[in-house]
């Protein structure tokens, strides 16, 4: 007999099915036992009665035991969800050998503290509201990828070992590499630009990026998943913004279709599909608005987290839109490879994308002209020697291009209104956390 998921079993009324999962609850009434079984698709009530051997097996059960049951699906008004399975056979596949260190399904308990939950992450993830985050991630990533593959992007898997830093010398992890030192890529930036020099036209990459960031904030980690895209033959950064908006719109449409009602049920959040085009303002305009709102100008030419929140609140009222592109960041807050504006060389053809007060993306048109790129690198105090492998990409013909990097965990934080990146990462890594 093929196993069916709990979610499927409840559609097979009157049939005998095999299903399996974790014991979420046990209610003992002597000659009859009610079990709640949980699998990835849902929870169903199991009724064990009459036969002594069944009750004997069932009496060996604990919370979080893993069982396989064979039984007949019945409609039952009093059962949670309106269904139950009347068991003919039950087998214990695995049972806890120790007391559960954190509660999984017990009701009425306070949420255990986050460090404990991270220590026992696999127990924490058994809760349906936690598993939902990763179902949504799967759907979201699948939709981003579908957008990209349908629009002619090639996927690359660029190396994480580098001989030189990809972004700046700071926050870099060193690896012992056969007597040399290698560095872990802080982004696929250089290598997605290499794909443009290779004529790949448009590429995307999904992969880990590494930042030796010593901070302990709720937004930072030492390793996270990045979504990166780069496209050739653009006129300006606006072309990149348009592509990104379309990809995000299509991802959120898929999330709403697949999981909108579950997100609403478990998180009381509505998934809103953003309209195109996303609103945009320049950094200069943003700063004027923030001044009018009496928000302190904490970072010249850039936005502090507080400024991002206030700016988004204001713009959301004004535009009715949750997303906001901020463009034209000044040269001093952007890396050397961002292209500068033709009519004002103090500004870059760059943008950040904010979603409800959180930066989820940085993007730009890149400088593809060798001489200008070298000059911009020197201006930032970088030596052409330290960048020699990168700079060579631009020596033999390179299309104008631009791209963006997006943090999926930041999108998930906004989708679920969760303020800590630890909760939306499968296994968080930080300064003091390498385990489990």
Q: Interaction with a copy of itself in 379-418: which residues (CB under 8 A)?
A: 389-390, 392-400
Q: Shortest gap between Cβ of 202 and a copy of itself (angstroms)?
A: 8
- Establish if 370 lies at the interface with a copy of itself (CB under 8 A): yes
131 binds a copy of itself (CB under 8 A): yes
Q: How far is the CB of 404 from a copy of itself (least distance, A)?
A: 19
Binding marks (x or -) toward a copy of itself, 273..312, rule CB under 8 A?
----------------------------------------
d(CA 71, CA 89): 7
Name which of 259 and 323 has its Cβ closer to a copy of itself.
Answer: 259
Could you tell me how many helices (H) and strands (E) the chain has, helices first? Answer: 12, 16
Residue 176 touching a copy of itself (CB under 8 A): yes
Contacts of a copy of itself in 57-86 (CB under 8 A): 62, 64-66, 68
Q: Decide: 401 and 232 in contact? Cβ < 8 Å.
A: yes
Smallest distance from the beta carbon of 75 to a copy of itself, in angstroms? 25
Q: Which of 198, 291, 293, 372 binds a copy of itself (CB under 8 A)?
A: 198
DSSP structure string for 144-197? HHHHHHHTTPEE----SEESS-SS-STT--EEEETTEEEEE-S-SHHHHHHHHH
φ, ψ of residue 412 in degrees (nearest 5) = -65, -35
* Cα-Cα-Cα-Cα dihedral sign, residues 341, 392, 195, 399: positive
Q: Measured from the CB atom, is 71 or 357 closer to a copy of itself?
A: 71
CB of 178 to a copy of itself, least distance (A): 5
How many beta carbons lie within 10 A of that of residue 213, not counting itself? 16
Residue with smaller CB distance to a copy of itself, 324 or 398: 398
Classify residue 354 as left (phi > 0), alpha (psi -120 to 50) or beta: beta
Whether the CB-CB separation of 355 and 129 falls below 8 Å is answered with no
Which residues, 137 to 156, sit near a copy of itself by CB under 8 A?
Answer: 137-139, 141-142, 145, 149, 152-156
Residues 223-262 that bind a copy of itself (CB under 8 A): 223, 225, 233
Is residue 212 close enough to count as binding a copy of itself by CB under 8 A? yes
Residue with the two structure tokens 């949504």: 136
The piece of 50-58, 195-203, 303-311, 344-352 that touches a copy of itself (CB under 8 A) is 195-203
Q: List the strands of the sheet with 280-282, edge to edge.
A: 154-155, 202-210, 223-232, 401-406, 358-365, 350-355, 323-327, 280-282
- Told to check if 26 binds a copy of itself by CB under 8 A, we report no
> Given the complex with a copy of itself, which of 68 and 262 has the nearer CB atom?
68
Q: Which residue has the tokens 């999108």?
A: 411
Between CA 332 and CA 336 the distance in angstroms is: 9
Does 206 interact with a copy of itself (rule: CB under 8 A)?
yes
Provide the minimum distance between the beta carbon of 321 and a copy of itself in the complex, in angstroms, as a whole number.
26
- If the CB atoms of residues 310 and 366 are measured against a copy of itself, the closer one turns out to be 366
For residue 310, give every residue at least 6 positions away whose Cβ sits within 8 Å of its Cβ, in sequence order, or none.
290, 293, 295, 357
Q: Does 11 bind a copy of itself (CB under 8 A)?
A: no
Cα separation values, 169 from 172, 222, 420, Å? 6, 15, 27
Which residues have a Cβ under 8 Å from the Cβ of 176 and sit 6 or more positions away? none
- Residue with Cβ nearer a copy of itself (76 or 139): 139
Nearest to 283 by CA among 271, 294, 291, 273: 291
* Region from 48-56, 300-308, 338-346, 369-377 binding a copy of itself, contact rule CB under 8 A: 369-377
Question: Closest distance between a copy of itself and the C-beta of residue 250, in Å?
Answer: 15
Q: Of 47, 57, 118, 162, which one interacts with a copy of itself (CB under 8 A)?
A: 162
């Amino acid at each position: 007999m093929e196993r069916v998921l709990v979610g499927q079993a409840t559609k097979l009324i009157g049939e005998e099915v095999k299903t399996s999962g974790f014991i979420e609850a046990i209610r003992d009434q002597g000659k009859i036992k009610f079990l709640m079984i949980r699998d990835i698709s849902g929870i169903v009530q199991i009724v064990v009665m009459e036969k002594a051997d069944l009750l004997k097996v069932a009496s060996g059960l604990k919370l979080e035991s893993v069982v396989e049951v064979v039984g007949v699906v019945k409609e039952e008004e009093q059962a949670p969800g309106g269904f139950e399975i009347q068991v003919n056979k039950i087998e214990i596949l695995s049972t806890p050998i120790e007391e559960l260190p954190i509660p999984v399904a017990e009701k009425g308990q306070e949420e255990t503290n986050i460090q404990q939950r991270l220590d026992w992450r696999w127990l924490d993830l058994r809760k349906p509201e936690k598993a939902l985050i990763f179902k949504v991630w799967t759907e979201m990533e699948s939709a981003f990828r579908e957008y990209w593959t349908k629009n002619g992007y090639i996927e690359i898997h660029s190396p994480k070992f580098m001989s030189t830093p990809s972004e700046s010398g700071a926050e870099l992890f060193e690896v012992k590499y056969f007597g040399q030192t290698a560095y872990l890529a802080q982004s696929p930036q250089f290598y997605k630009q290499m794909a443009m020099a290779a004529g790949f036209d448009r590429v995307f990459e999904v992969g880990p990026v590494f930042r030796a960031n010593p901070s302990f904030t709720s937004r930072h980690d030492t390793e996270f998943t990045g979504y990166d895209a780069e496209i050739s033959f653009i006129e300006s950064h606006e072309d990149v913004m348009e592509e990104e908006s379309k990809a995000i719109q299509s991802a959120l449409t898929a999330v709403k279709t697949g999981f909108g009602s579950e997100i609403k049920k478990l998180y009381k959040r509505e998934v809103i599909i953003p309209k195109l085009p996303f609103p945009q303002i320049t950094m200069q305009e943003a700063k004027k608005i923030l001044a009018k709102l009496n928000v302190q100008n904490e970072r010249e030419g850039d936005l502090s987290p507080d400024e991002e929140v206030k700016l988004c609140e204001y713009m959301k009222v004004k535009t009715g839109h949750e997303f906001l592109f901020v463009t034209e960041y000044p040269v001093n807050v952007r890396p050397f490879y961002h292209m500068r504006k033709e009519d004002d060389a103090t500004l870059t053809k760059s943008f950040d994308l904010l979603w409800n007060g959180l930066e989820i993306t940085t993007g730009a048109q890149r400088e593809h002209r060798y001489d200008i790129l070298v000059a911009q690198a020197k201006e930032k105090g970088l030596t052409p020697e330290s960048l020699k492998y990168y700079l060579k990409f631009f020596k033999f013909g390179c299309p104008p291009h631009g791209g963006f990097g997006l943090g999926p965990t930041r999108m998930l934080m906004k989708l679920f209104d969760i303020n800590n990146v630890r909760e939306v990462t499968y296994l968080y890594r930080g300064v003091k956390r390498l385990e489990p």
